[in-house]
Amino acid sequence: MRKQIPLMFCLAVVAAVALSGCLSNQGVTPASYKNDVITVEDYYVSNLQPYASAEDRGSETTMSFLVQNNGEHPVGRAAVNFFDTSGLVVSDFKCSDSTVSVGARHICTFGNSEALGEIVPFDVRYISLRLTAPSADVIKKQTDFTVSYRIEYDYSGYRKADLPVVDGTTVRTASSRYSQSTASYGPVLLSFELPARGTHKEDGQTVTDYWGVRGKPFEVVMKLTDVASSKSKSKNLVLAKGSIMLDTKKSLQVADGMPCDFDVDASTGYLYSSKDVKVPGELRCSFKSYDFSEPETFATLWAEYSYTYGYTLTEKFQVQPVGET
């Protein structure tokens, strides 16, 4: 768990000192978040080559690791599921601060109820699995066993786009610049794409210009990509219908008669995705601005999206009978 005592002590004792000065004196570095939100840390295996013996069972080996939240927000639910132990017998299974499944299923679940706290940024949970090799009656020669487990967690992201809109009469070319907010941390990235209106030079670089014209429809493409590392990348990831919300801040409306992959909630005015979307994938919708009196204004799109992210890891063991070389 990240230590906060030095910062709190500094603020309490020297309340008049600026926060930056306090951090500088204490040598505290800024938080370093990652798109790989839930990761496996401090991974340890006691023995990758357990023995099958002439007794009722073979020797034991232990897998242990931490799952850590590297994201900027708490993780409300995370689970570790050892769904395949490949013939090795689970003799002990422990998870810190978690519910542990019983019977043949070996699953740790964190933060799925009020009794189980969420995993706050940089906090960890401990997992330990003790495995026993089969007896020599079963293993006659060196045999490979693969243990597979899945890491799964719920997370969310957000992104904002600000688009200049001109009246098309007094002003035909926008003087303001289109911008997207910095992407939120997480394995799923949402980005907005709009039709280009032109280009200009800025510090020797060619910059594409985007703007809208009052009353004229334009299409917005929302692209979803998986930006997790290859080790933690999900397969067959789908964001379910309704899991992406758009708020136009009352600056844009869905263009009549134009295609749109979102439905409007009449009670709130928010738009929700009307279909499932695979990642990588995209959703589209055509908008037009509400009427405005200024020569130029800004339209805003705010996106929030939630999803369940999961990836699978494996460990290979070589089991051989005692005395086998």
Please tell me the distance from the alpha carbon of residue 265 to that of residue 252, in angstroms, as a whole number. Answer: 15
Mean residue pLDDT of the chain comes to 87
DSSP, residue by residue, 29-83: PPP---SS-EEEEEEEES-SS-EE-SSSS--EEEEEEEEEE-SSS-BS-EEEEEE
One domain, residues 207 and 236 = yes
Whose CA is closest to 234, among 186, 300, 173, 201?
186
One domain, residues 227 and 202 = yes
Q: Check residue 197 and give its pLDDT.
A: 87
Question: Residues 234, 309: contact at Cβ < 8 Å?
Answer: yes
One domain, residues 51 and 192 = no
One domain, residues 196 and 251 = yes
**Neighbouring residues of 73: CB distance < 8 A, sequence distance ≥ 6:** 121, 155, 156
Q: Check residue 9 and give its pLDDT.
A: 33
Whose CA is closest to 152, among 81, 82, 79?
79
Q: Residue 128: which CATH number?
A: 2.60.40.1530
In the block, residue with structure tokens 């007094």? 170
One domain, residues 256 and 244 = yes
Q: What type of residue sits at position 218?
A: F
Question: Residues 242, 207: contact at Cβ < 8 Å?
Answer: no
- Mean pLDDT, residues 217-225 taken together: 96
Least confident of 9-23, 34-48, 241-255, 304-318: 9-23
* β-bridge partners, 228: none
Please tell me the distance from the alpha carbon of residue 296 to that of residue 150, in angstroms, as a whole number. Answer: 51
Please tell me the distance from the alpha carbon of residue 158 to that of residue 142, in angstroms, as a whole number. Answer: 51
Please tell me the distance from the alpha carbon of residue 199 to that of residue 78, in angstroms, as a whole number. Answer: 45
One domain, residues 165 and 55 = no
- Is residue 291 predicted with pLDDT exceeding 60? yes
In the structure encoding, which two tokens stand for residue 267, read together?
């009670």
Q: Check residue 136 and give its pLDDT.
A: 79
Work out the percent of the chain whose per-residue pLDDT is above 90.
67
pLDDT band at 26 (very low <50, low <70, confident <90, very high): low
Tens-digit pLDDT profile for residues 102-137: 566 899 998 876 667 789 999 999 999 999 998 878
Q: Are strands 143-166 and 212-213 parallel, antiparallel or unpaired?
A: parallel
- Is residue 69 predicted with pLDDT exceeding 60? yes
Please tell me the distance from the alpha carbon of residue 190 to that of residue 156, in angstroms, as a whole number. Answer: 11
One domain, residues 14 and 69 = no
One domain, residues 169 and 271 = yes
One domain, residues 136 and 168 = no
pLDDT band at 14 (very low <50, low <70, confident <90, very high): very low
Work out the percent of the chain whose per-residue pLDDT is above 70.
86
One domain, residues 175 and 146 = no
User: When comparing pLDDT for 141 and 150, which is higher?
Assistant: 150
One domain, residues 176 and 267 = yes
Rounded to two decimals, what is the model's pTM? 0.84
Q: Check residue 4 and give its pLDDT.
A: 35
Q: Check residue 225 and give its pLDDT.
A: 97
- Is residue 18 predicted with pLDDT exceeding 60? no
Tens-digit pLDDT profile for residues 96-108: 877 666 566 899 9
Query: Which structural domain, as residue segments, surrounds residue 261?
Result: 156-307
Q: Check residue 324 and give its pLDDT.
A: 56
One domain, residues 137 and 270 = no
Tens-digit pLDDT profile for residues 182-201: 999 999 999 999 988 888 88
DSSP, residue by residue, 150-211: EEEEEEEEEEEEEEEEE-SSS-SS-SS--EEPPPPSSSEEEEEE----EEEEETTEEEEE--
- Structural domain count, the chain: 3
Question: Residues 48, 59: contact at Cβ < 8 Å?
Answer: no
Please tell me the distance from the alpha carbon of residue 159 to that of residue 184, in angstroms, as a whole number. Answer: 7
Provide Rg for the chain, Cα atoms: 27
**Neighbouring residues of 171: CB distance < 8 A, sequence distance ≥ 6:** 295, 296
